[in-house]
Amino acid sequence: MDLNGKKILLGVTGGISAYKSVTLLRLLQKQGAEIRVVMTDASTEFVGPLTFASLTRFPVYTSKELAESSPFRHIDYPRWADLFLIVPCSANTLAKLVHGLADDPVSLCFMAATCPKWVAPAMNSAMYASVAVQNNLRMLKNFENVQVLEASAGFLACGEEGPGRLIEPEEILNRLLVFAENVNPVFKGKKVLISAGRTREAIDTVRYISNSSSGKTAVALASVFLESGFSVTVVKGQMEAEFPPGVQIVSVESALDMHSQIMALASDFDVIVHAAAVADFRPKMVSDKKIKGSSSLLQIELEPNPNILRETVKQKKNGQVIVGFALETDDFEANAIEKLEKSGADLLVLNTPVAKNSGFGFDQVSYALLFDAKRIPPLKMNSKKQLAKEVLDFIKQAWTSSDDFTELHNA
């Protein structure tokens, strides 16, 4: 599927990478999209409005128009658009978007737009890494209907090398094509909350209890949901795998931290997927200094952590779908059935990381999807991306079918 007939408003802000917006515009036009352009004053110092006007055959909205021919362009253009892209987005404009300032055409259109908004920041590495910019990026990711296309690392116009480089126009196009291909009307405007990674339970100031979860399954889930049109938020512990741009991330340390964050957020989401490897127990007492190695008879008393899956099920709202994970190394079926029945989850993903080259840290795993304790499908080896797609298929059927998902089970 292409972008034929889609109406895209392209916002351009100040920065040397503004010239890449011309390339992006042409790529979008080749896909059949109709483009209109809005510019800040700073961006016109890098690329002239006449360039964009000539390519789009539409007036370019600049600050000059605020006092001239079209005083309502800041409402008309966003209302016309199916999508608002801000490429590139400077640090200054980023701050305006986050804090509700609207004193130039781009920030005015952002505030008035109700369509999906994609923002691609670009700036010097030191600016990009600054506390202010990183805080603003985190806040913007929490905005409804906003995707942040994280800057990449590479050589910058200033001669330095590092993060802050504008994501390439070809990559932006590819992500738009994937988005257009996978958006399902069933998922339009839906939000998913995913737990990810591993928790760490402190023993003393330097030691902790944890596990080997890499977070790859959660990344596969986040990617599939994002590509299908969901707004994706992740509450994550420690992990090695990295999430794609557009995922909103909340970082935590312990099981109690994860419990607190998920319970506070759960009611705002249509789907909750518990993919994190959460520690079942934590030390009852935590030493405020390093425990010496000479303590040969050291005993650690443990106490249970909250069962986050069960607690979200107890507070489940109408229409919400809750997915749990059961990692088992023996008695797979019996243990999974028990967890499905006790938790009350709509779907339980049984995964068994015992086969060679699968499970923790690998891209494939042995798994089965359970939603009926009386009918246990056989385990199968497949990629974690395919597992994620099957979870999404289940959710789609949960919202569109009343047949208790028999078709999915027999697939």
Provide the β-strand partners of residue 86: 11, 119
Q: Specify whether 109 is catalytic.
A: no
Structure tokens belonging to residue 370: 């359970």
| Residue owning tokens 């390439």 | 168
Cβ 242 vs Cβ 291: under 8 Å: no
Which positions are catalytic?
Answer: 158
